[in-house]
Structure 1
Amino acid sequence: MGIIGDIGHYIMVPLYYIISAVLLGWHKLFETLGLDPSGGLSWALSIIGLTLVIRAALIPLFVKQIKSSRNMQLLQPKVKELQKKYGHDRQKLAEETMKLYKDAGTNPFASCLPILLQMPIFFALFRLLDQAARRNTAHGFLDTESAKQFADSQIFGVIPVADSFWGARTWGDEPNATVMVVALILVLAMTATTFFTQRQLMAKNMPAEAMSGPYAQQQKMLLYILPVAFGLGGVAFPIGVLLYWTTSNLWTMGQQFYVIRNNPAPGTPAFKAKQDRDKAKAAKHGKTLVEDEAVEPVVEERRPAARQQPKRQTKAQRQQAKKSPGGGSAGPKKPTNTNKGDRR
């Protein structure tokens, strides 16, 4: 446990500094804009700003994830062929499948990279907020004063950012019902966005032949397991952490919608929808070309004229060539006249 603890320490400490730096930067910006620096709204918006910065930094990995997931889907027919051929030999099947992925330049684990890289950031924000609330412990660039201010901040004066569904602070002998309701709404939002993000990928960007393979079965399991896991664990997350994860899921949904709409995998419903849109645009564009038809022939007439220019020159050369034989033919005629003179 000592070695694992040391590894975790070396991973988390840099994250504390990165997260706190971005968080304080956004907080300073909102303070400059006139928001109360000790208010929960400025800290909540700072968490949303932190989420946007992190997700923007992960865009290259997201693109790699989409490409890997798309290649995995397109390779499913070949994977099925390998299963039929090497179904009796699991080791050979695994070797041939990994060789197929390698030759195609894809990695079955690349689709998990954005989530895996976000998990340390998620836990770092959780510990930063949780320890600031319970012990006033400062991490990274957060000093003791700012850590306490962060932990005690309340959105609209009634919703502490550091509270969770189970850990809602009590008002007298009763738990803070407002905090519990808001936390529950965020937990449900986090669960729903996780589900619909995965569902969007499977329903629109997976070919029909890939819906019955092992990769599809894995995706179907994750479709239900991940939301349930986040939902069960979400009741213990502080509201600030729930805000981060829900915002991240919304970003993922929008980003994935854009990629699927504009660059769908072949043979998928999204691909057919894009073809229909392209046909509609082409038809509309064709009508525009008919209106501009008067302009097009001018361009077309100029192009043949430019191409025929060398032919005119060749024709002149041919005329000159015809004159040359005429001049040369006069030569032979003289001997003919001479012969006629001889006859006389």
Structure 2
Amino acid sequence: MIEALSLIPMSIWDPFISIGSAIMAPLYWVVSGILVFFHAVWSPVFGPNSGWTWTLSIVFLTICIRVALIPLFVRQINSSRQMQVLQPKVRELQKKYAHDREKLGAETMKLYRENKANPLASCLPLLLQMPIFLALFRVLNSAADGVPKGHWLVVNPDLVTSLSQATIFGARISDKFLPAIPFGSVQLVCIVLIIAMTVTLFITQLQLMRKNMPPEALEGPFAQQQKMMLYIFPIIFAVGGINFPVGVLIYWLTSNLWTMGQQFYIIRRNPAPGTPAYEAWEIRRKAKAEHRAAQRPKPEDPGPEPGGNGARPKTPLPGGDGAAVAPAAPRVVRQQPRTQSRSQRKK
């Protein structure tokens, strides 16, 4: 297959390369502009060539990108959760219409429409995010190699040199784990970042499967695929991380930490029904309701009414300090005269 592709003239790929460059150019422009902006923000604090200046610039660049992608992320996680919740019903349809593939497809799509679930909705946000993440990766990776990518780095070549030479914990932001010999501070920094990046990715996926999925959704072939991805993705990141510069590892770690915190917030505030997260949310909601009821002021006791079986209210004596009290004066009820006729009044 590879040999067959190599026989294709390069001129055939030129239109596709031109289209890809036209799509990525605005993204390079935005990413490089945000990176240069945060470098200007942190330069007065740590210095323009400090590794901490560039590290914080990369961190805040990642945060800006992730904030802009929050609507896509929320839609993606809701769609993925809805698809997981519907898996038990999909398996029932597969058993019922195993002999009729056409009927199975029609009933499955009907189930998705009734529950407002779209199988493509969970993939579309991810596809829209890929060009942005690719632009971010290319800008950082190229800058670490000393090659400007994006308008704002092209017009400021000194910043590219500063980024490629900046160091943090004894490792340059442009350094990679390989070659591992001699083993030094660069390898140690890369190992720490790769481990942190892998662990945060694993926790994020495990949190989604264990906290926000009903028990029924954790069974079947689709759930088995999710469990396989739970371990395959971190391994891919760990193996591929040895070829990434320190600056790109910082970006991936920041992105994973943001995803983990964002997902924790969404699962805590908007859990799927029938999941452990939903049960915990119900317990917290009831506890808050009981706490508000306990804090609500109770109505004061008015005491026994005058003329009843209890003691009459007492009032302080005039001129006293309130210690000596006397019974309150009884209320006088005026007797109304009886109505008389004219003959009675004459008599």
Tell me, which stretches of 5 or more residues in structure 2 are unaligned? 1-12, 303-347
Cα shift at 1:296: 11
Contact 1:129 1:150 in 2 (8 A): no
Cα shift at 1:189: 1.1
Q: Does 1:61 align with 2:66?
A: no
Whole-Å Cα distance in 2 between the matches of residues 296 and 243 of structure 1?
A: 65
Instruction: Report the AA paired with residue 168 of structure 2.
Output: I
Structure 2 match to 1:191 = 198
Cα shift at 1:18: 0.8
Cα shift at 1:295: 6.6
Secondary structure at 2:178's aligned position in 1? coil
Hey, which of these two has a bigger chunk of helix by percent? 1
Change (3 A) 1:214 1:202: same
Structure 2 residue aligned with 1:276, among 244, 264, 283? 283
Structure 2 residue aligned with 1:267, among 247, 268, 274? 274
Instruction: Report the AA paired with residue 161 of structure 2.
Output: K
Whole-Å Cα distance in 2 between the matches of residues 79 and 212 of structure 1?
A: 12
Q: Does 1:153 align with 2:181?
A: no
Whole-Å Cα distance in 1 between the matches of residues 251 and 124 of structure 2?
A: 18
Whole-Å Cα distance in 2 between the matches of residues 193 and 85 of structure 1?
A: 40
Structure 1 match to 2:33 = 21
Cα shift at 1:159: 1.5
Whole-Å Cα distance in 2 between the matches of residues 107 and 296 of structure 1?
A: 59
Structure 2 match to 1:293 = 298
Q: Does 1:216 align with 2:223?
A: yes
Number of residue pairs matched?
Answer: 288
Secondary structure at 1:243's aligned position in 2? helix
Whole-Å Cα distance in 1 between the matches of residues 173 and 300 of structure 2?
A: 64
Contact 1:189 1:246 in 2 (8 A): yes
Superposition TM-score, scaled by structure 2 size: 0.76
Cα shift at 1:95: 4.1
Structure 2 match to 1:6 = 18
**Correspondence list, 1:56-205, <5 A:** 56-142=67-153, 143-156=156-169, 158-166=170-178, 175=182, 177-205=184-212
Change (3 A) 1:55 1:137: closer
Contact 1:208 1:268 in 2 (8 A): yes
Q: Which moved more, 1:175-184 or 1:96-105?
A: 96-105
Superposition TM-score, scaled by structure 1 size: 0.77
- 1:202-259 deviations in whole A, cap 9, x for unaligned? 0011001111133322321221121111111111111111111111111111111111
Whole-Å Cα distance in 1 between the matches of residues 148 and 262 of structure 2?
A: 36
Root mean square deviation of aligned Cα: 2.3
Whole-Å Cα distance in 1 between the matches of residues 198 and 126 of structure 2?
A: 15
Structure 1 match to 2:262 = 255
Secondary structure at 2:250's aligned position in 1? helix
Q: Which moved more, 1:269-278 or 1:126-135?
A: 126-135
Whole-Å Cα distance in 2 between the matches of residues 275 and 132 of structure 1?
A: 49
Change (3 A) 1:20 1:94: same
Q: Does 1:207 align with 2:214?
A: yes
- 1:107-139 deviations in whole A, cap 9, x for unaligned? 223334554444333333333233334354453
Q: Which moved more, 1:127-136 or 1:248-257?
A: 127-136
Identity %: 53
Whole-Å Cα distance in 1 between the matches of residues 246 and 57 of structure 2?
A: 13
Contact 1:101 1:107 in 2 (8 A): yes
Contact 1:126 1:237 in 2 (8 A): no
Whole-Å Cα distance in 1 between the matches of residues 114 and 257 of structure 2?
A: 34
